[in-house]
Amino acid sequence: MNFYCSHIEKNLDFNLQTIKSPNSDWFLYLDDGWTISEDHVYKGIESNWCRIDFREGLRITTNKLRDFPIYYNDTCVSNFLYTCGTQLPTDGTIYWNKNKKPIISYNTNFYPTTNRKHLTFNECNNILLESLVENIETFAKQNSKPIYIPFQYGIDSLAVRSVFDFLKIDYELFVLPKTKPTLSKLGNWLSKKYWGFAQINEIKNAVVVTGFHGDEWVLRNPYYVHALLSQRNISITEEFDKIKDCYMKQYFEKYRTKCNTKCDLTIKSLMSQICNDLQIWHLNNTYFLSPLKHKNLLQLLRADTNTIIEQATDATLSKSIIEECNRDNLKLLDKLKNQDDPIWFPH
């Protein structure tokens, strides 16, 4: 689901297909897998898609929680060629009319409103489980492609896999290679800026299920949690120092210095950072499903303090999903985050 659109014909060395709009002067450069019509192109799955209309001017439409960046200037727009210029926030939309100037608008209701009432652990568990189930069931109803899940022992991969088990949706496990996989030219380019592409094989005409976004959307990114707890006058560093062993203990050390100073990020700013933390999207004929991303998960920022600390340190909330959906998978869980990742994984 990669594109570069321009008024100016360009020679791009990424093995892309080229379309010239018959009604305007737009050139479209696309990776494999797009459905091409007379006035638009489309690619994606139910939860992660893009449509580009070019009957008059150019308009880009996506699912609400867009999974890819959009870089633009007056003459071009792309989601992989970041030399295009300014990056559009995920709550923004863009189109070009006949005057050939980009027109930007923003969804004023993009971010949910929050109140001061804190959510209990059980309420957070319900939000997380319901979000995962909705994402996976919605995808499965429309999907006809084979589904692959990596045979990994990390908390997020196992949580997502456990929900697939709970819903009795067929999938095939695959073992990540011992050496870094060979990517397409476009995949290699993307992996230099977006680490998700450096972790996953390209599997043609299939959907690869990932555990991406788990840290950011489910209260485990140390800096995001630090920002959240700073508003409650609690030090995440002190909380980790109270615990001898926990799932996130070793990983937190990478963030210790950054978390030593109180953070003044607001909830709205934190939501924006989470939604703009883009990690992976469809590449050629390989499609990706990352179910740990749902608008309702932003409500977890209102979790009570104990729930936040337990999740940030020992992934207690995520573990509860595995226990509820397929507790046998808890036996597979690594003791530490990233413990058994291949040595070529970027961290």
Q: What is the pLDDT of residues 192-243, one digit of tens each?
A: 889 889 888 889 999 999 999 999 999 999 999 999 999 999 999 999 999 9
Flag whether 111 is in a domain.
no
Kindly state whether residues 24 and 167 are assigned to the same domain: no
Torsion of CA 294, 300, 302, 303, to 10 degrees: 170
Domain boundary among 106, 131, 153: 106
Kindly state whether residues 228 and 281 are assigned to the same domain: yes
Kindly state whether residues 134 and 242 are assigned to the same domain: yes
Flag whether 189 is in a domain.
yes
In the chain, the amino acid numbered 13 is: D
For 29-168, where are the alpha helices, taking DSSP H only?
121-142, 155-167
Tell me: pLDDT of 8 over 90: no
Residue 12 — φ and ψ, nearest 5°? -105, 130
146 pLDDT tier (thresholds 50, 70, 90) = very high
Domain region containing 11: 3-106
183 pLDDT tier (thresholds 50, 70, 90) = confident
Flag whether 339 is in a domain.
no
17-55: pLDDT as tens digits = 999 887 778 999 999 999 999 899 999 998 899 999 998
Kindly state whether residues 271 and 306 are assigned to the same domain: yes
Per-residue pLDDT at 22:
76
Flag whether 219 is in a domain.
yes
Question: Which tokens sit at 174?
Answer: 């695959």
Please state the rounded mean pLDDT for residues 162-189: 90
CA 113/CA 48 separation, integer angstroms: 24
Kindly state whether residues 134 and 219 are assigned to the same domain: yes
Please state the rounded mean pLDDT for residues 96-105: 85
Tell me: pLDDT of 178 over 80: no
Kindly state whether residues 280 and 200 are assigned to the same domain: yes
Flag whether 11 is in a domain.
yes
Flag whether 153 is in a domain.
yes
Percent of the chain at pLDDT above 70? 98
Kindly state whether residues 157 and 211 are assigned to the same domain: yes
Choice among 160-169, 176-185, 203-212 with the minimum mean pLDDT: 176-185
Kindly state whether residues 95 and 199 are assigned to the same domain: no
CA 4/CA 18 separation, integer angstroms: 10
Domain boundary among 41, 72, 106: 106
Per-residue pLDDT at 59:
93
Kindly state whether residues 140 and 276 are assigned to the same domain: yes
Enumerate the β-bridge partners of residue 174.
Answer: 150
Percent of the chain at pLDDT above 90? 77
- CA 48-224-229 angle, to 5 degrees, is 140
Phi-psi region of 103 (alpha: psi -120 to 50; beta: other; left: phi over 0): beta
Task: Report the number of distinct structural domains present in the chain.
Answer: 2
Flag whether 21 is in a domain.
yes
229-252: pLDDT as tens digits = 999 999 999 999 999 999 999 999
Flag whether 116 is in a domain.
no
Per-residue pLDDT at 341:
75
Question: Which tokens sit at 221?
Answer: 């990114």
**What are the residues whose beta carbons fall under 8 Å from the beta carbon of 117, sequence distance 6 or more?**
302
For the chain, where are the alpha helices, taking DSSP H only?
121-142, 155-167, 185-191, 214-217, 222-230, 236-241, 249-252, 267-275, 305-314, 316-326
CA 340/CA 173 separation, integer angstroms: 17
Kindly state whether residues 188 and 52 are assigned to the same domain: no
113 pLDDT tier (thresholds 50, 70, 90) = confident
Per-residue pLDDT at 344:
61
Kindly state whether residues 56 and 101 are assigned to the same domain: yes
Domain boundary among 73, 106, 139: 106
Kindly state whether residues 169 and 285 are assigned to the same domain: yes
Per-residue pLDDT at 233:
95
